[in-house]
Homo-oligomer: A and B are copies of this chain.
Amino acid sequence: MLQSKLFTKTVKDAPKDEVAKNASLLIRAGFIDKTMAGVYTYLPLGLRVLKNIEKIIRDEVNKAGGVEILMPSMQPKENWEKTGRWETMDDLYKISDSSGRESALGATHEEVVVPLVKKFVSSYKDLPLYVYQIQNKFRMELRAKSGILRGREFMMKDLYSFHKDEEDLKKYYEVMKQVYKNIFERAGIGNETHLTFASGGSFSKYSHEFQTITPAGEDTIYVCNDCGVAINDEIINEQKECPKCGKANFKTEKAIEVGNIFELKTKFTEAFDLKYKDEGGMDMPVLMGCYGIGLGRLMGTIVEIYNDDRGIIWPESVAPFDVHLILLNESLRSTSGEIYESLQKAGVEVLYDERMGKSVGEKFADSDLMGIPYRIVVSEKSMEKGGVEFKKRSEEESSIIKKEDILNYVKKVQ
């Protein structure tokens, strides 16, 4: 893509009320715009990252048998009354039309998915079933101040699994643990992300969170120095030993919850009387699990981890482009254009800074702020040295490489 066609520009200062580093960097680099507190627009660069994240999640979830659907944001009040959450969920937005009829604005989708599944599941033969969507959620955050880590409106992957018994639920729960591990690994935050034991509520001993260590985290977790799993704030007082290895040797860390998985068991299926007939024709309750990942939160977490004082440093798997190609001297426009064409032809995604009237300093500062993994500079100086200047955003050293060798240096991630 030509940078001149991007329409957005880097911005000198983030809005004054924007205290979160993720949003501040993403706004300055032209990835998002703040529409209002807790509500953001994804600009072309930001949308590309969001779609890359979406692709990773969809790919891993599909591999685990997930079937994709798309549920609405507007939800019937009576469903929320059935589960009791119309009154008890504090952050639920309620909307009413001019005839006074009320509905809920989806903060989560159990109230839609369970009645939906009830229409199609009646026998043990219909189970298990794994249904997911990638869809907006709305939650009333009165003081939204964490950028895209915690918005009032945010994109989420939510998967709901349905099972005939606890054994089957537990089996899939373990599958999803691995799916989440793979997703965070592929998104570049595998090393910083810890499986974290959390309260299971009234139905299970534990639920699990995936917590990514960073000073920007709102949560505190306690990481086992021996085996690497963690426990969260809710259960640290009753849980003296590591639930995995039994040792009691924890390190306290700030972290962001990038995903959670939860055994809901019959909490929602009972509310809607979702049952199935077993092999003997007996009515049995359907058991349920739910599994969430906020896409914006994941994107914000990546930014919180991968940045330096010049800007963002995207992992290749989610970067908006693979290569930032920068033309410095008008005399080399056709050489530079040829490189652009040949990279695109090879399937490499290139942002091509062909803008005129910008200084070298401005172009490099923009490039560092945006954080595209590979930078290729075409200049008279580089040509005198025998080629183009090649530099990784994550490294300080650059090198001169021959035009013909560029493709070998840009190892394309799949």
Contact = CB atoms under 8 A, between A and B. Distances in A.
A74 B116 contact: no
Contact of A120 (B9, B73, B152): B9
A116 B30 CA distance: 12
Given A9-B120, A35-B75, A98-B142, A42 B70 contact: yes
Interface string A65-79: 101111111111000
Contacts of A70: 41-42, 47, 50
Contacts of A153: 72-74
B76 A41 contact: no
A41 B152 contact: no
B44 A69 contact: yes
Interface residues of A, number: 51
Contacts of A117: 7
A8 to B, nearest CB: 6
Contacts of A7: 67, 117, 120, 126, 129, 131
Contact of A140 (B33, B41, B75, B98): B98
A142 B97 contact: yes
A40 interface: yes
Contact of A41 (B47, B71, B126, B129): B71
Interface string A108-126: 0000100011011000001
Interface in A1-43: 5-9, 11, 33, 35-36, 39-43
A136 interface: yes
Contacts of A140: 97-98
Interface string A51-65: 000000000000001
Interface of A: 5-9, 11, 33, 35-36, 39-44, 47, 50, 65, 67-76, 90, 93-95, 97-99, 103, 105, 112, 116-117, 119-120, 126, 129, 131, 136, 138, 140, 142, 152-153
Given A7-B67, A36-B74, A47-B70, 8 more contacts: A5-B65, A9-B120, A35-B74, A39-B74, A42-B69, A47-B69, A72-B153, A98-B142
